[in-house]
Amino acid sequence: MAWDQSEIRSLKVNHYIVLDDEPCRIKSIDTSKPGKHGEAKARLQAIGLFDGKKHSLISPVTHKVKVPIIDKRKGQIISLGSNEVKIMDLTTYETFGLRIEDDDMMAKIEQGQEVEYLETMGKKKITRI
């Protein structure tokens, strides 16, 4: 299990949430007042961490949602390929390959360089060089 549960009212901007089975970073939260026969609603706008798409959710503030457990780690670039890099984790010494779609990031990466990456829900992504 790579996620936890939380009520919508406890979430804040720049926290994480799972929408459409995609871990996302919350960009905005708008809440409305409770109505005569209803409860307060929240409108969330979020950006997917891996797909970069906009996701939204409209739901009562008391509903529970999935919150991904994100593991931020450091690694070292072992080898470079065309749009793929091999990384060794600096704590567990595990090696794995990551595909990089962004040409600007690929141009900045060099062999032997340390990078920060995040891992959640079985996916990995380089966040900082």
- How much is the CA Rg of the chain, to the nearest whole Å? 18
Greatest alpha-carbon pair distance for the chain in Å reads 62
Nearest to 76 by CA among 22, 34, 117: 117
Note the pLDDT of residue 4.
84
Final residue in a domain of this structure, among 46, 68, 90: 68
b vs e for 96-107, b when ≥16 Cβ sit within 10 Å of the residue's Cβ? eebebeeeeebe
pLDDT of 27 > 70? The answer is: yes
Name the token pair of 81.
């390929």
Other Cβ atoms closer than 10 A to 68: 19
- pLDDT tens across 54-80, in order? 999 998 988 899 899 888 899 988 888
Q: Are residues 64 and 75 in the same domain?
A: no
Note the pLDDT of residue 102.
73
Judge whether 75 and 87 are in contact, CB under 8 Å: yes
* Helix (H), strand (E) at residue 68: strand 64-68
Final residue in a domain of this structure, among 20, 53, 68: 68
Could you list the residue range(s) of the whole structural domain that residue 42 is in? 3-68
Q: Are residues 80 and 57 in the same domain?
A: no
CATH of the domain at 76: 2.40.50.140
Note the pLDDT of residue 28.
92
Judge whether 99 and 84 are in contact, CB under 8 Å: yes
Band the pLDDT of 3: cuts 50, 70, 90: confident
Note the pLDDT of residue 55.
92
- pLDDT tens across 91-123, in order? 888 888 888 877 777 778 888 888 898 888 888
Domain count of the fold of the chain? 2
Judge whether 7 and 64 are in contact, CB under 8 Å: yes
